[in-house]
């Protein structure tokens, strides 16, 4: 069944992207929330870029970057023997870039709101910096993490333009749900398009419903990066 | 003993502090913005500074090394409540305690003892976020103490509480300061708090220590050489003197606490007998009047025989006032004749009291009154103080 393979691929892509971004975005969001470095606005803007750029533009540049003629693509080819473009690995890399703001922004907002005060209190109580962070900031940022993970996962599942540019349409490798829907419509296979679209709709709604239901403080929005 | 020789600069504030703080309950006093909190944070290692900090011969910081905050044996109570919102009160209390145990620090103050001292038993299972302001402050102080600190840093622990809450917290602070004997640095800008809680006092102005010494010596000096950043009015309202008194009894029907100061009787309005016999009483200079003779038919209950030691005309907004410093005279023997000035029967330490440096009282009176009375250095006077105007003592519940 092509639908099942597309669903599995989308879930795998979104899952891997979310997990990797949790680790990548945490230090970045912490830095954005607390740094007074003069480059901070630039980094902030760069991180938010995928929110406003057409996915095709981003996809185009990534495609160029992934090309074996260029440094990254060339290195990857010589290192692994396969190309980055039109591969699942390439899709993961592209998703990391594309979904970054969806992870970083809620985390930054959460970290700004928490501030440094709990860390300082923990330090005066004898906790080392790492211990202090894990025992105060991490649990205090719980709803920020839930928001960020849900947004990132859902957004990666729904990604289309950039996947088309970077991954193309290879069954079992790069053909995720959104691509499968597009192809079904192109080939006038409306039954399959209906099935996948409705599935995606129900999935998105259920995820949000669960989160809203179990976490009353949860707000799914891309709030301002810094809460006053 | 805390040895400081540090410099730091944050925005407009330039801090340069050199000094030694003895292991006692020391107040850090100064106008807002003078760098009190910054100094406390630097001592804790929360704000980086250059120079040298050592405590009881352990170097916390010098040119070659800097001990991180979590390795300094401090307890810190922040101005804003900093209980961890995701933990229960008990988990908050255990936070520092567990880490002290893990670091093989001897637990001199176990959980149950501190919980009992601070009456926290009913709150243990509550979420930190559900506590009232007063409860939260109490838990904050208890949590800091449970981390088994060698030095306690309190940053205005009574700020933001109304009078009633303050009165509720005060006994617990007394518990910390006198009961547990942990050296403490207590930031405050209120004379009254300092007078009640602190033995020693450091005065800070514009990032520098300008005066330090025992509280009863420093407090009267404060307004005589007014801090430049204070406005004169606030100095005027805060000026006063601190006297040591011995509690001799409690007059329940009149809600009056009987005390002896240098062998003379002092009556203070209060609701209960203080827990400790030795108390400190803060007498605001504006509430002290002066008479040449022992007064009769007067509502004022306290008349302390004294001798004028210094007259200082005041300037600025307080122009027209004279600050009169008087030392309290220790009565030579029981004189049956002086009926208004009964010498308390239970005051037996006359010789000892006489051996100590004389206690001083300050009064702010108008220049006109001073001239009318013909006050000069050496004049024998009576310092009149209304019982109702004397600051309530720390130990009583309100």
Whichever domain contains B50, its CATH number is 3.40.50.300
Q: Do residue B364 and residue B343 come from a single domain? A: yes
Which residues does residue B212 pair with via DSSP β-bridges, in sequence order?
B202
Q: Which residues on A lie below 8 Å from B74 (Cβ)?
A: 124
Q: Which of B200, B231, B262 is the last residue of a domain?
A: B231
User: Minimal CA–CA distance to A176: which of A189, A159, A193?
Assistant: A159
| B83 domain residue, yes or no | yes
Q: Which pLDDT belongs to residue B91?
A: 95
- A140-174 as b/e: b if 16+ CB within 10 A: bbebbbbbbbbbbbbbbbebbbbbbbbbbbeeebb
Q: Which of B231, B248, B278 is the last residue of a domain?
A: B231
- State the Cα–Cα distance between residues A32 and A196, nearest whole angstrom: 38
Q: Which residues on A lie below 8 Å from B46 (Cβ)?
A: 120, 123-124
Which residues does residue B365 pair with via DSSP β-bridges, in sequence order?
B322
- The closest CB to that of B82, out of A118, A135, A139, belongs to A118
Instruction: Judge whether B115 and B142 are in contact, CB under 8 Å.
Output: yes
* Alpha carbon of A126: minimum distance to chain B alpha carbons (Å): 4
Instruction: Judge whether A174 and A168 are in contact, CB under 8 Å.
Output: yes
Question: In sequence order, which residues have a C-beta less than 8 Å from that of residue B306 and are 6 or more positions away?
Answer: B326, B327, B328, B329, B361, B380, B381, B382, B383
Q: What element of type H or E holds B164?
A: helix B163-174
* Alpha carbon of A15: minimum distance to chain B alpha carbons (Å): 28
| B284 domain residue, yes or no | yes
Q: Which pLDDT belongs to residue B339?
A: 44
Q: Do residue B309 and residue B168 come from a single domain? A: no
Q: Which residues on B lie below 8 Å from A144 (Cβ)?
A: none
For chain A, give the percent of residues with pLDDT over 90: 46
Q: Contact B46/A123, CB-based, under 8 Å?
A: yes
Q: What is the third-level CATH fold of A2-214?
A: MetI-like fold (1.10.3720)
Domain ranges of chain A: 2-214
| B34 domain residue, yes or no | yes
Q: Which pLDDT belongs to residue A1?
A: 56
- The closest CB to that of B143, out of A117, A125, A128, belongs to A125
- The answer, for A78 touching chain B at a CB cutoff of 8 Å, is no
Q: Contact B82/A128, CB-based, under 8 Å?
A: no
Q: For strands B151-155 and B74-77, give the pairing.
A: parallel
Q: Which residues on B lie below 8 Å from A118 (Cβ)?
A: 82, 84
Q: Contact A120/B46, CB-based, under 8 Å?
A: yes
Q: Do residue B53 and residue B174 come from a single domain? A: yes
| B397 domain residue, yes or no | no
- State the Cα–Cα distance between residues B308 and A209, nearest whole angstrom: 80
* Residue ranges of chain B whose pLDDT lies below 50: 226-229, 231-236, 335-355, 392-398
DSSP at B393: P
Q: Do residue B304 and residue B337 come from a single domain? A: yes
User: Minimal CA–CA distance to A114: which of A154, A149, A142?
Assistant: A142
Which residues does residue B154 pair with via DSSP β-bridges, in sequence order?
B77, B186
Q: Which residues on A lie below 8 Å from B80 (Cβ)?
A: 117
- The closest CB to that of B84, out of A123, A136, A142, belongs to A136
Residue in B closest to A125 by C-alpha: B96
Burial class (CB in 10 A: 0-12, 13-18, 19+), A88: middle
Q: Which pLDDT belongs to residue B332?
A: 64
Q: Measured between alpha carbons, how far apart are the two ends of chain B, in Å?
A: 35
- The answer, for A132 touching chain B at a CB cutoff of 8 Å, is yes
Q: Contact A125/B147, CB-based, under 8 Å?
A: yes
Q: Which pLDDT belongs to residue B140?
A: 93
**Higher-pLDDT residue of A91, B244:** A91
Q: Which of B231, B264, B298 is the last residue of a domain?
A: B231
Q: Do residue B173 and residue B259 come from a single domain? A: no
| B395 domain residue, yes or no | no
Residue in B closest to A126 by C-alpha: B70
Residue in A closest to B86 by C-alpha: A140
Q: Contact B69/A136, CB-based, under 8 Å?
A: no
Q: Which pLDDT belongs to residue B322?
A: 85
Q: Cβ–Cβ contacts within 10 Å for residue A192, how many?
A: 18
Residue in A closest to B40 by C-alpha: A124
Q: Contact A126/B143, CB-based, under 8 Å?
A: no
Question: In sequence order, which residues have a C-beta less than 8 Å from that of residue B72 and are 6 or more positions away?
Answer: B44, B45, B55, B60, B151
Q: Cβ–Cβ contacts within 10 Å for residue A28, how many?
A: 18
| B150 domain residue, yes or no | yes
Question: Based on C-alpha coordinates, what's the Rg of chain A?
Answer: 20
Q: Do residue B76 and residue B11 come from a single domain? A: yes
- The answer, for A133 touching chain B at a CB cutoff of 8 Å, is no
Q: Which of A110, A118, A123, A125 to mutate to test the interface with B (most CBs of B within 10 A)?
A: A125
Q: Contact B44/A124, CB-based, under 8 Å?
A: yes
Is the confidence at residue A74, as pLDDT, over 60?
yes
Q: Which pLDDT belongs to residue B316?
A: 62
How many domains is chain B partitioned into structurally? 2
Q: What is the mean pLDDT of chain A?
A: 87
Q: What element of type H or E holds B153?
A: strand B151-155
User: What's the token pair of residue B53?
Assistant: 């900090």
CATH code of residue B297: 2.40.50.100
* Alpha carbon of A140: minimum distance to chain B alpha carbons (Å): 6
Q: What element of type H or E holds B306?
A: strand B302-313
Q: Which of A119, A122, A126 to mutate to test the interface with B (most CBs of B within 10 A)?
A: A126
User: Minimal CA–CA distance to A58: which of A104, A114, A96?
Assistant: A96
Q: Do residue B93 and residue B141 come from a single domain? A: yes
Q: Do residue B274 and residue B137 come from a single domain? A: no
What residue numbers bound the domain in which B178 lies? 2-231
Q: Which of A33-42, A80-89, B1-10, B369-378 has the lowest mean pLDDT?
A: A80-89
Question: In sequence order, which residues have a C-beta less than 8 Å from that of residue A178 and are 6 or more positions away?
Answer: A10, A157, A158, A159, A160, A163
Q: Which pLDDT belongs to residue A216?
A: 57
């Amino acid at each position: 069944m092509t639908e099942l393979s597309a669903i599995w691929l989308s879930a795998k892509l979104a899952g891997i992207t979310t997990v990797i971004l949790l680790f990548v975005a945490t230090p970045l969001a912490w830095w954005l929330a607390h740094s007074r470095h003069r480059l901070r606005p630039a980094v902030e803007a760069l991180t938010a870029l995928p929110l406003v750029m057409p996915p095709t533009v981003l996809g185009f540049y990534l495609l160029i970057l992934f090309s074996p003629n260029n440094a990254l693509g060339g290195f990857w080819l010589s290192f692994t023997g396969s190309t980055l473009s039109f591969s699942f690995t390439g899709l993961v890399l592209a998703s990391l870039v594309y979904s970054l703001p969806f992870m970083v922004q809620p985390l930054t907002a959460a970290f700004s709101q928490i501030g440094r005060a709990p860390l300082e209190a923990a330090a005066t109580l004898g906790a080392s910096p790492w211990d202090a962070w894990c025992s105060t900031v991490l649990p205090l940022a719980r709803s920020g993490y839930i928001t960020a993970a849900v947004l990132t996962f859902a957004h990666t599942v729904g990604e289309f333009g950039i996947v088309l540019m970077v991954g193309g349409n290879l069954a079992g490798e790069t053909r995720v749900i959104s691509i499968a829907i597009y192809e079904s419509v192109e080939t006038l296979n409306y039954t399959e398009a209906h099935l996948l679209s409705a599935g995606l709709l129900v999935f998105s709604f259920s995820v949000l419903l669960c989160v809203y239901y179990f976490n009353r403080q949860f707000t799914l929005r891309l709030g301002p990066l810094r809460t006053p | 003993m805390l040895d400081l020789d540090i410099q730091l600069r944050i925005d407009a504030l330039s801090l340069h502090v050199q000094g030694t703080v003895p292991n006692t309950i020391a107040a850090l006093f100064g106008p807002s913005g003078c760098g009190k909190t910054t100094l406390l944070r630097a001592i804790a290692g929360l704000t980086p500074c250059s120079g040298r900090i050592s405590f009881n011969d352990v170097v916390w910081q010098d040119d070659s090394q800097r001990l991180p905050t979590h390795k300094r044996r401090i307890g810190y109570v922040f101005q804003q409540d900093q209980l961890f919102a995701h933990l229960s009160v008990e988990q908050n209390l255990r936070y520092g305690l567990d880490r002290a145990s893990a670091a093989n620090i001897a637990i001199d103050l176990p959980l149950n003892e501190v919980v009992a001292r601070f009456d926290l038993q009913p709150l243990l299972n509550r979420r930190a976020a559900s506590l009232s302001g007063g409860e939260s402050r109490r838990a904050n102080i208890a949590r800091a103490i449970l981390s088994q600190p060698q030095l306690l840093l309190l940053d205005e622990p009574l700020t933001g509480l109304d009078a009633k809450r303050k009165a509720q917290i005060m006994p617990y602070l007394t518990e910390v300061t006198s009961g547990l004997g942990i050296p403490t640095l207590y930031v405050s800008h209120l004379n009254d708090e300092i007078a009640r809680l602190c033995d020693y006092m450091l005065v800070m102005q514009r990032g520098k220590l300008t005066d330090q010494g025992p509280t009863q010596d420093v407090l009267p000096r404060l307004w005589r050489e007014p801090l430049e950043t204070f406005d004169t009015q606030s100095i005027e309202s805060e000026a006063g003197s601190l006297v040591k008194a011995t509690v001799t009894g409690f007059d329940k029907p009149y809600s009056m606490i009987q005390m002896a100061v240098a062998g003379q009787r002092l009556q203070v309005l209060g609701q209960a007998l203080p827990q400790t016999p030795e108390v400190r009483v803060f007498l605001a200079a504006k509430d002290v009047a002066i008479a040449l003779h022992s007064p009769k038919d007067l509502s004022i209950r306290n008349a302390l025989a004294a001798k004028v030691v210094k007259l200082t005309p005041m300037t600025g907004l307080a122009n027209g006032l004279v600050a009169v410093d008087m030392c309290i005279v220790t009565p030579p023997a029981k004189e049956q004749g002086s009926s208004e000035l009964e010498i308390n029967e239970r005051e037996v330490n006359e010789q000892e009291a006489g051996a100590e440096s004389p206690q001083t009282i300050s009064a702010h009176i108008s220049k006109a009154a001073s001239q009318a009375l013909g006050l000069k250095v050496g004049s024998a006077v009576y310092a009149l103080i209304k019982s109702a105007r004397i600051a309530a003592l720390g130990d009583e519940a309100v």
